[in-house]
Structure 1
Amino acid sequence: MNANEAINSQAASLPRSPELMNAGDTLLCLVDLQERLVPVIQHHERIVWNIRRLLDGAKVLGVEVVATEQYPEKLGPTVEPLASRIPSPAASKLAFSSAGCTDVFARQIEQLDSGGKHRVLLTGIETHVCVQQTAYDLLAAGFQVLLAVDATGTRFSVDYETALRRMESAGVMLTTTESALFEWCVVSGTPEFKQVSQLVREPAP
């Protein structure tokens, strides 16, 4: 039984909660994980590791992935091992919010009223600037926005902690890398679950 079959089976008894992500209704968004930004972020090794696991899980489970880069001419491209795992080139931007990248979000916005992808799982840097502004704009556009708190970061703890509190108070749902992977997976006992389990068991850097 795959994830979609499990959801259909569950629908015959109790409906799956609308608070839970599914692989087919979620967009994984990477915000500005660039060569000149990442090294100055607290715990950046763990952040990149978690995002890499999300990308690997997204590939296994068929979750769509998008990425943005802030002024890449000055701040450089997306870091490895993330860049080679992004299926489409990252969208370049000057505005802090990634929601202004019409080539990234225009199709999703058009599909909001027709049952398309209506959730965005945000990752990236910095939490209190580009990630936060992206979250607010996506909320305003009608998306359900989730934030993987262990896959985002800042230079200073006060900015990170304050941004999380502010975003949560506005309706952003806080989650973690492992929680997201298992929500996308839905059930155990499948080949996809075995691959996700391997990602979850990886030792942290």
Structure 2
Amino acid sequence: MPYEKFSADNAALLLIDHQVGTMGWVTSIPYEELKRNALMLAQTAAILKIPTVLTASMEEHAQGPLLSELKDILPTEYEGRIKRLGIVNAMEDEHFAAAVKATGRKKIIIAGVTNDVCTVYPALTLVREGYEVQVVADAGGSPTDRADDIALRRMEKGGVTLTSTNQVIAELAGSWASPEGGQLVQLIVGAIGG
């Protein structure tokens, strides 16, 4: 089957558990890099008007609230975020599954924290349900390098395509010459210089 690129017209973004507490458990990628990449994905979705679903698990516990910047970047999505009560596989939460289906998209971009718990299961579930899934490996992370490596290998073996923040932004942009592409290239250049 020939590859059809992911675009603003056919993809949806899922940001899973980018919570201040949970992100603090990650050691496989520096906290600031993880945060920057997750926020770049959110900004990309806002610029390109890509349907986005945010979810958080047990915000009032150790996991903490979602990154406050997400409220500024994606205010509607932030207010409508799916608050899970400890369900590990977000796709097993009926509200989250319904929100994913409601995007009407079959190409799904996922970034989550942690990759070894919160990302792996929904990614594999979505592949089994017939979705095409890209996991943004550097907009998530795990408590150890080994845990992250095993999770990424498990997802790849299960049919998930692994990507990076800059790579997926470039794919979604399609051209840096468009007005949106110009904004996106500034995101990437800002991140590299920042």
SS in 2 for 1:150: helix
| Residue 106 (1) aligns with residue 93 (2) | no
- Write the mapping of 1:35-184 to structure 2, written as runs, cut at 5 A: 35-42=20-27, 43-74=30-61, 75-86=63-74, 87-88=76-77, 89=79, 90-93=81-84, 94-106=86-98, 108-109=100-101, 116-184=104-172
Contact 1:122 1:146 in 2 (8 A): yes
* Paired AA for residue 17 in structure 2: D
Among the aligned pairs, what percent are the same residue? 25
* Paired AA for residue 71 in structure 1: M
* Paired AA for residue 82 in structure 2: A
Whichever of the two has the greater Rg, that structure is 1
Q: Which runs of 5+ in 2 are unaligned?
A: none
Q: Residues of 2 paired with 1:107 and 1:24: CA distance?
A: 17
Q: Structure 2 length as normaliser, TM-score?
A: 0.87
| 1:14 paired residue number | none
| Deviation for aligned residue 1:81 | 2.0
Q: What do the CA deviations read for 1:16-63 (whole angstroms, capped 9, x no partner)? A: x53420112111111111121112212121011011111111111111
SS in 1 for 2:112: strand
Contact 1:108 1:118 in 2 (8 A): no
Q: Residues of 2 paired with 1:170 and 1:84: CA distance?
A: 35
Gap change, CA 1:25 and 1:104, over 3 Å in 2: farther
| Residue 194 (1) aligns with residue 186 (2) | no
Q: Residues of 2 paired with 1:189 and 1:126: CA distance?
A: 35
| Residue 25 (1) aligns with residue 13 (2) | no
Q: Residues of 2 paired with 1:28 and 1:145: CA distance?
A: 10
Q: Residues of 2 paired with 1:52 and 1:108: CA distance?
A: 20
Gap change, CA 1:144 and 1:193, over 3 Å in 2: same
Q: Which runs of 5+ in 1 are unaligned?
A: 1-16
Q: Which piece of structure 1 moves more, 82-91 or 123-132?
A: 82-91
Q: Structure 1 length as normaliser, TM-score?
A: 0.83
What is the aligned residue count?
A: 185
